[in-house]
Amino acid sequence: MTPRQFGLTQFTVLGAGMALGSPAGGRTPEQLAAQMGIDPANVAFMRTNQAAIQAMFRELGARLGDDAADRDSDAAPAR
């Protein structure tokens, strides 16, 4: 993975996660994502694969010795 690909991946995950976890205000996360300039398909992918994504972040945190990954994984939005 190139540094550019890494950066794009991080921004994609962050943006889609923010849209998924933000209060919708009458809008679906996909509509909110589109308004934010984020591909709604990324939000749908994160929603569908949320458990697997959280597990990967927990594993990464464990490899890095980061206890915060375990604490934060339980605070996932329920949508």
**15-69 confidence digits (pLDDT tens):** 888 888 877 677 787 788 888 888 888 888 988 998 998 898 899 888 888 655 4
Residue 60 lies in a domain: yes
Residue 55 lies in a domain: yes
Q: What is the pLDDT of residue 44?
A: 87
Containing structural domain, residue 68: 3-21+30-73
Residue 48 lies in a domain: yes
66 or 71, higher pLDDT: 66
Q: Phi and psi at residue 70, in whole multiples of 5°?
A: -70, -40
Residue 79 lies in a domain: no
Task: Give the C-alpha separation, 64 to 69, whole Å.
Answer: 10
Residue 10 lies in a domain: yes
How many structural domains does the chain have? Answer: 1
Residue 50 lies in a domain: yes
